[in-house]
Chain A
């Protein structure tokens, strides 16, 4: 089997199997799965609203999927994308509010920098803790998620909220911090759809992450560390530095969710905006086989489910958008089962399939 076909096979099986199992569940609650799926996919892929919103939902998932991917490639499990993106989104808004009067030429790069640096910093903390004190990144990233969420809520509530506003959100950022919605460039695509330039930035990041990991010496060192840290050390690579670097890059990518949210969508920091983007990113990276192209495909799939789910909720009798959660859960289960499946293949002597 050619490598590409093999790489696509298991995720495809996982998705198809999830839809079959999901279909059975829909039958059991007394709805017609074909109707439900047609509703789900049809509404998610309609022009322009369906496609527009689906791509908009895919944008943060691409960023967080890439973030988790970079961690994985260094042998790290970054569960902290959620916290990183909250800190970064808040930082973006802070920059946009603090320097609100500046022109777009200054403010856009400044806000970008704010998002990237804040995410990188929040990601680097568990990296440093792991590299120099040996404490596990899974625990620390989970803990830092709680801290991040509480921290930005606090600052929003007590320092950056417009007096009298009943909603927990910050003041608006300066006009200069707005980035264009794609409706501006595409005829027949209304500007009310929040799909914005950050989507193109996400695609660009996929290319950059690919080049970084597979074409630069730094990427080589990160992947070598992830593949076999003792051999990396033998090759003169500082494993500690790679761990910190990978976590910082991972955090920076997660942080770019803030660009989509603050600069392209709400133009302010809105507390609790993330629909578990950081955690869904883990599933996106897994389903995408830790490859940037796979991340795009997986993010699109999850976005279709998320957006289509809203319509399923509204227009079908028995099922709610929870069916989307069910589908996502089953996909993840099947992707995880792949490891077991391959392992059992290996045990029965078909080692070639593993290579």
Chain B
């Protein structure tokens, strides 16, 4: 169906694609896997005409084709669904789908026939999308199906999906995969770009593995396994499962009693949550994103205005309800925020400057002239220690944080918070957007901090991560704790049901 031959693409000094060969057979689901920056999205954008290759050929149905724009790609039956949807919120499904390919004459828009056609497509692939529904009323999963319909409406025979499951809940992923299988049955070809190995194994027929802009492996899915794929992606042996000793649990460090966070409109995004985290254990919080996890962590870190908080937070036996972020950190609460660009880093600041955020105002950092002037030497030492110990690359404390990859940015944050010797660590989405190699490292660091006696509260949207790291697992649903399970024995189905139904 689609063949990329010796595709090379250079961005400045970066070789994004280096003689890439990819062969996608018709009627298959083909996975392209690789770490961030491996070149998988670049290759697919070339196939879709977003970029033009510096050299190499694209073959569609065995014939060499020039694809210079998405328009060319669509004409050849290639459609692409991007990670971030391109939908107009206040238009209906049908209006969104015909956008750019409006039926009827220049003066009259024939939406009726379009709607009928969309309905028929929707039924054919069991997408359950109502063409007359405004897009803003749809869930994320439904919006994604609208994107699929958009491609199908333009007669796509090959669909390229860029990280399609990143935004979906576990149940939605299941439904989505069922749709993909139906498409395959109807003779469509699907390319799915991902870095989640479990999904590759679950859905694909063939896999192309990329690393550093090159294709490093081509395998039949039935002949491979997660460990082998991870090894190819990273270029070395990777431990997928977290190996951790039994926890040495101590006294309760962090106690949360009936904690609520009230929004401006009076609604409670977090609603009467009670639990405790003891030293030496990792307590995980699983849940579909947007069920109060963010509010919980921000409230515990002291980042929510006191007037919006109800209930009690107790640290080491002392009530810290009215204590702000600065003092909470001094009392031993470290925080790895869910959004490192928004909360965790000053992207324009150097690594050195970032390494002191939160301790910048006290000795040994602000130590000269009565604690007003920053001690440049102490800052450099601290930064270099973190860079060294947490393997932040490139090893240059003078670089702006913006210049680092997501994984290295995350390692810098983890190093900074680790360096506080916290009694309690609040950690949200520790490995989001992080490469497999770094994920393993980050997981090991969290376990070592636990073994040193830290009480860790972990929020993650990755079920696998939260179940394999946690010693106890709480499930959150609509701002309430829906239940607690033992992550060693609980099944994913059990957890998934609590996450989506709340009981």
Interface residues of A (CB under 8 A from B): 211, 215-218, 220-221, 223-224, 227-228, 230-237, 349-352, 355
Nearest chain B CB to A133's CB is how many angstroms away? 15
Report the separation of the CA atoms of residues A234 and B300 in the bound assembly, to the nearest whole angstrom. Answer: 12
Which among B11, B327, B402 is the interface contact of A355 at CB below 8 angstroms?
Answer: B402
Q: Is the CB of A228 within 8 A of B342?
A: yes
Q: Is the CB of B337 within 8 A of A227?
A: no
- How many residues of chain B have a CB within 8 Å of chain A? 37
Which among B347, B376, B400, B403 is the interface contact of A228 at CB below 8 angstroms?
Answer: B347
Q: Is the CB of A231 within 8 A of B374?
A: no
Known: A234-B335, A236-B326. 15 other contacts (CB 8 A): A216-B374, A217-B360, A217-B372, A220-B353, A221-B361, A223-B349, A224-B357, A224-B360, A228-B348, A231-B345, A234-B301, A234-B344, A235-B360, A352-B13, A355-B402
Q: Is the CB of A227 within 8 A of B349?
A: yes
Contacts of B357 in A (CB 8 A): 224, 231, 234-235
Q: Is the CB of B358 within 8 A of A215?
A: no
Report the separation of the CA atoms of residues A233 and B403 in the bound assembly, to the nearest whole angstrom. Answer: 23
Contacts of A237 in B (CB 8 A): 326
Which among B12, B344, B346 is the interface contact of A352 at CB below 8 angstroms?
Answer: B12
Q: When A216-B373, A217-B372, A236-B325 are in contact, do A230 and B349 touch as well, CB less than 8 Å?
A: no
Nearest chain A CB to B126's CB is how many angstroms away? 39
Q: When A215-B373, A217-B361 are in contact, do A234 and B325 touch as well, CB less than 8 Å?
A: yes
Q: Does B250 contact A (CB under 8 A)?
A: no
Interface residues of B (CB under 8 A from A): 11-13, 301, 303, 324-327, 329, 335, 337, 342-349, 353, 356-358, 360-361, 365-366, 371-374, 376, 399-400, 402-403
Contacts of B347 in A (CB 8 A): 227-228
Report the separation of the CA atoms of residues A211 and B327 in the bound assembly, to the nearest whole angstrom. Answer: 27
Contacts of B325 in A (CB 8 A): 233-236
Contacts of A235 in B (CB 8 A): 325, 357-358, 360
Contacts of A227 in B (CB 8 A): 346-349
Contacts of A350 in B (CB 8 A): 11-12
Q: Is the CB of A228 within 8 A of B12?
A: no
Nearest chain B CB to A75's CB is how many angstroms away? 11
Contacts of B356 in A (CB 8 A): 220
Q: When A227-B349, A350-B12, A352-B12 are in contact, do A220 and B344 touch as well, CB less than 8 Å?
A: no
Contacts of A223 in B (CB 8 A): 349
Contacts of A216 in B (CB 8 A): 366, 372-374
Q: Which of B301, B343, B347, B371 has the most CB of A within 10 A?
A: B343
Report the separation of the CA atoms of residues A216 and B360 in the bound assembly, to the nearest whole angstrom. Answer: 9
Q: Is the CB of A234 within 8 A of B358?
A: yes
Q: Which chain A residue lies CB-closest to B51?
A: A349
Which among A218, A221, A231, A349 is the interface contact of B342 at CB below 8 angstroms?
Answer: A231
Q: Which chain A residue lies CB-closest to B356?
A: A220
Q: Which of A220, A231, A232, A350 has the most CB of B within 10 A?
A: A231
Contacts of A217 in B (CB 8 A): 360-361, 365-366, 371-374
Q: Which chain A residue lies CB-closest to B360?
A: A220
Q: Is the CB of A228 within 8 A of B346?
A: yes
Nearest chain A CB to B420's CB is how many angstroms away? 12
Report the separation of the CA atoms of residues A237 and B358 in the bound assembly, to the nearest whole angstrom. Answer: 8
Report the separation of the CA atoms of residues A351 and B11 in the bound assembly, to the nearest whole angstrom. Answer: 9
Q: Which chain B residue lies CB-closest to A350?
A: B12
Q: Is the CB of B343 within 8 A of A231?
A: yes
Report the separation of the CA atoms of residues A227 and B349 in the bound assembly, to the nearest whole angstrom. Answer: 8
Contacts of B337 in A (CB 8 A): 234
Q: Is the CB of A355 within 8 A of B374?
A: no
A sample of 13 cross-chain residue pairs with beta-carbon separation below 8 angstroms, ordered by A number, consists of A211-B373, A215-B376, A217-B372, A220-B353, A231-B343, A231-B346, A232-B346, A234-B301, A234-B357, A349-B12, A352-B12, A355-B399, A355-B403
Q: Is the CB of A236 within 8 A of B324?
A: yes
Contacts of B361 in A (CB 8 A): 217, 221, 236
Q: When A217-B360, A236-B329, A349-B11 are in contact, do A224 and B349 touch as well, CB less than 8 Å?
A: yes
Nearest chain A CB to B402's CB is how many angstroms away? 6
Contacts of B346 in A (CB 8 A): 224, 227-228, 231-232
Nearest chain B CB to A103's CB is how many angstroms away? 32
Contacts of A220 in B (CB 8 A): 353, 356, 360, 374
Q: Is the CB of A230 within 8 A of B373?
A: no
